[in-house]
Structure 1
Amino acid sequence: MNISIMLSQVMELTFSQWFLIKRRSRSLSQDDIAKTLGVSKQTISNWEREVTIPTLTINQFKKLCKLLDCTLDDFPSPQDD
């Protein structure tokens, strides 16, 4: 069982936490994802530090799902404040 499955069973992850776990489990750098999506490395860093949330096109989401080996249904639900 991989760590992202174990963690999600114990607690609800924020997008930032989930994204960081998925990225690292696939051995991807922030730069790898940024280049594929056509965004800056700073944008990826901001997602992981909960500074911003992704605002991506459908095509970018498809690319992100392929990189992270997931579907849109795998993304965590938005958190209520």
Structure 2
Amino acid sequence: MKLRQRIGLTQRQVAQALDIRQSTVSDWERGISIPNLPPSKIKLMLEIYQCSLDELIEAFEDTKKRKKIDRDGDAIDSENN
């Protein structure tokens, strides 16, 4: 995710700060899932990513837009196809 890369953190560092699994952060960044966190964790995400709520929402919407679903229902990255 551009927000994470912009501030120079790894997925592991974000996961540790949010007390979640690194695979969850990876899933968010690949558009497989979106954050389903309590407001206190969303606020923490804004602090970690040093962004506004609008920027955070836009980042996740952009990630989802890059994903396409093939006929078998498998997600594929539209940037590579």
TM-score w.r.t. the length of structure 2 is 0.67
- RCO higher in 1 or 2 (8 Å CA, sep ≥ 6)? 1
* SS of residue matched to 1:39: coil
Deviating more after overlay: 69-78 vs 38-47: 69-78
* Alignment size in residue pairs: 62
Q: Which of structures 1 and 2 has the bigger CA Rg?
A: 2
Q: Could you list the per-position Cα deviations for residues 24-71 of structure 1 after superposition, in whole angstroms to 9, with x for gaps in the alignment?
A: 010010011101111100000000111111101111111110011112
Which structure dedicates a bigger proportion of its chain to strand? 2
Q: Give the CA RMSD over aligned residues.
A: 2.1
Paired position in structure 1 for 2:25? 44
Unpaired segments ≥5 residues, structure 1: 1-19
Aligned to 1:67: 48
Percent identical across equivalent pairs? 28
Work out which of the residue numbers 16, 21, 26 in structure 2 matches 1:35: 16
